[in-house]
């Protein structure tokens, strides 16, 4: 496979090999190849002539696993817009940002409302305030503990309330 270089790259595999095998000083090599002494030092000390990957080795997410699971569960059960999901979570944790909620949507492929759900939303019946719709969702195990997400939606105002409990009981409902 042919190596692809950055458009502004000054060195290539052949030049890097010459640098590695040369007995000239770093400053002399830098002048010869029109680069910095730091670049020369980097290629002299490397074992290989190929570029290293620049991707991060560990991705650190802004939301912890439980928060990500809550975001996805709320979205899948209600298909509320991004801002409404973010505002609900923001009340309980002001550190949560709108963009972290959106990135969680994208990562879990819930950033677009499916066509079937869009059509259901259009057929939403009119209700008097106080009519509640309840849903319970199983959350993934975290540190060996099972959790349940209870979601209550007032059908008239579309106000949403949720709580996470460790037991699925009538008291929690």
Confidence of residue 147 (pLDDT cuts 50, 70, 90): confident
Same domain, 80 and 159: yes
Backbone φ, ψ for residue 88 (5° rounding): -60, -45
What's residue 123's pLDDT?
A: 60
**Does some domain include residue 17?**
yes
Confidence of residue 48 (pLDDT cuts 50, 70, 90): confident
What's residue 99's pLDDT?
A: 93
Mean pLDDT of the chain: 85
* Domains of the chain: total: 2
Mean pLDDT over 62-86 rounds to 90
Quick check: 11 pLDDT over 80?
yes
Same domain, 44 and 71: no
Quick check: 101 pLDDT over 90?
yes
Confidence of residue 31 (pLDDT cuts 50, 70, 90): very high
Domain hosting residue 100, numbered range: 65-165
Residues 6+ apart with CB under 8 A from 151: 73, 74, 77, 78, 134, 135, 136, 137, 160, 161, 162
**Does some domain include residue 107?**
yes
Mean pLDDT over 40-51 rounds to 86
Same domain, 47 and 69: no
Quick check: 109 pLDDT over 90?
yes
**Does some domain include residue 92?**
yes
Quick check: 1 pLDDT over 60?
no
Confidence of residue 121 (pLDDT cuts 50, 70, 90): low
**Does some domain include residue 72?**
yes
Same domain, 15 and 38: yes
Backbone φ, ψ for residue 57 (5° rounding): -80, -30
């Amino acid at each position: 496979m042919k190596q692809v270089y950055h458009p502004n790259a000054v060195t290539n595999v052949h030049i890097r090999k010459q640098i590695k095998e040369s007995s000239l000083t770093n400053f002399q090599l830098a002048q010869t190849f029109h680069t910095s002494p730091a670049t020369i030092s980097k290629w002299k000390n490397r074992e290989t002539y190929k570029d290293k990957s620049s991707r991060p080795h560990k991705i650190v997410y802004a939301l912890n696993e439980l928060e990500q699971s809550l975001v996805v569960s709320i979205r899948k059960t209600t298909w509320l817009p991004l801002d409404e999901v973010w505002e609900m979570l923001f009340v309980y944790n002001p550190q949560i940002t709108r963009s972290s909620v959106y990135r969680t949507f994208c990562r879990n492929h819930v950033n677009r409302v499916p066509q079937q759900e869009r059509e259901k939303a259009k057929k939403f019946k009119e209700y008097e305030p106080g009519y509640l719709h309840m849903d319970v969702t199983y959350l993934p195990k975290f540190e060996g503990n099972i959790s349940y997400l209870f979601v209550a939606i007032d059908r008239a105002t579309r106000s949403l309330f949720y709580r996470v409990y460790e037991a699925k009981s009538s008291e929690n409902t």
